[in-house]
Amino acid sequence: MKSIKNSTLIFSFFGLLLVAACGGGDHAHEDEHAEEEGHTENALSVELSERQMEAVGIEIGQFSYLPLKNTVKANGMLELPPQKKADISALVAGQVSDINVIEGDRVETGDILATIEDPAIIDMQQHFIEASEQREFLQQDYERKKRLFDEEVGSAREFQESASRYRSNEARISGLRSKLELLGLNPEQVLEGRISSQVPVHSPLNGFVRLVEVNTGSYITPGDHMFEVIDNSELHIDLMVYEKDLHRVKEGQLLYFRYANQPTSELYKGEIFAVGKAFEQNPKAVRVHAHLMEEQSNLLPGLYVEAMIVTDEETVLSLPEEAVVSDGGQSYIFMVEEEEGHIEMEEASHSDEEEHRGTHLRAVPVVTGTSEEGYVEIRLLEEVAEESQVVTKGAFFVLSEMRKGEGGHHH
């Protein structure tokens, strides 16, 4: 039979045995000590019927060896990199004539979010047409006077004035073309006479409209904020790791996180990609950045999260958390024990056996360690058989019944 024990406690038990061996006394004292031990044993054990166990859902199982993770806890927030957030402002003064989106709409790069209307937009296109039509005349005049100047027939002043007019017009054409393109208007269509009184406001990102700050009919000036569009595809976690835990955290470590103050919310997975190099004084912590392992459409920037950074993993003796109770500052599990009268009970009638059969449970003190996903590490304070049967669910009810038994012994 294999057994499980905590070797670091052998010396403690050995010391207790030495004390017991050296302590002399008469038989009355020994009987009194034995009687006290008997009361202690009874106080830490209870017998439950099959009906009681079924009624409250008590389950019996065995120890498990599971890989549980040592973690560092940290709090933080979901954030986006700057290149995945777009604050969209007006490039030209005018009146908002159309709004094509509402907050929460999905948009693609280039989608028209709104249009702005103003007479100055028409004037800009007219100036572009006029400057373009003057180009041919100014270019011919410049080339003619250059030829005359080269032949030393024309005056240098006339040639310089012609060159200045031509180059100035070219610069004007180039500037107006760039402005039209910046406003989303096609210069070639403008030259064909297709003049528009409106300019579109485009989305620069694939993502979602997070904010709309204009109404139809609003008058805006250049620089006025109109929309915010975000792309959550590169959502990441910004965590604050305190000074005492910083030496345990490094790039590449996995972490698990959930919404702050919601212990029952879904658990998500991430990976650390950067540990900050600057120490913040308030609080005394360093920023740690982590990617999400999978894209999650229900996670949004700005949400506060609680995270557990996995620093290492160890296979340990474990039980479900429901198998462990605390009483008086001590943690306990409950082991199934065979009673001495069990053989006699088997010889009794079947109906009598059904009436009296029970499961004898003994409280065993333990120390708990790492916990994860409903399981907790168990460190035994005494040697037990590896195949021992233990309560894996419903330990709190067993503790309640044991306390009732304690009341009965002290009458």
Q: What is the DSSP string of 366-399?
A: EEEEEEETTEEEEEESS-EETT--EEEE-HHHHH
Instruction: Supply the pLDDT for residue 341.
Output: 43
Looking at residue 2, what DSSP letter applies? -
Q: Which residues of 233-251 are buried (b: 16+ CB within 10 A; e: fewer)?
A: eebbbebbbeeebbeebee
| Nearest CA-CA partner of 108 in 209, 212, 206 | 206
Looking at residue 148, its pLDDT comes to 86
The whole-number pLDDT of residue 339 equals 58
Domain 70-82+232-314: state its class.
Answer: mainly beta
C-alpha closest to that of 192 among 112, 132, 273: 132
Take residue 158 and report the two structure tokens written for it. Answer: 């006339």
Domain 91-118+197-231 has CATH 2.40.50.100: yes
d(CA 232, CA 212): 18
Q: Is the dihedral of CA 204, 209, 215, 217 positive or negative?
A: positive
- Output the tens digit of pLDDT for each of the chain's 411 residues: 556 654 433 333 333 333 333 444 444 444 444 444 333 344 588 899 888 889 989 999 999 888 777 889 999 999 999 999 999 999 999 999 999 999 999 999 999 999 999 999 999 999 999 999 999 999 898 888 888 888 777 788 888 999 999 999 999 999 999 999 999 999 999 999 999 999 999 999 999 999 999 999 999 999 999 999 999 888 999 999 998 999 999 999 999 898 887 766 788 999 999 999 888 887 889 999 999 988 777 888 999 999 989 888 778 899 999 999 998 889 999 999 875 444 344 444 444 544 456 889 999 999 998 887 788 999 999 888 878 999 999 999 999 888 886 655 443
CATH architecture of 3-13+44-66+316-409: Beta Barrel (2.40)
Report in angstroms the alpha-carbon separations of 105 from 85, 108, 229, 376.
Answer: 15, 10, 10, 44
Whole-angstrom distance, CA of residue 129 vs CA of residue 125: 6
pTM of the complete model beyond 0.95: no
Letter string b/e over residues 360-370, b meaning 16 or more CB atoms within 10 A of that residue's CB? bbebbebebee
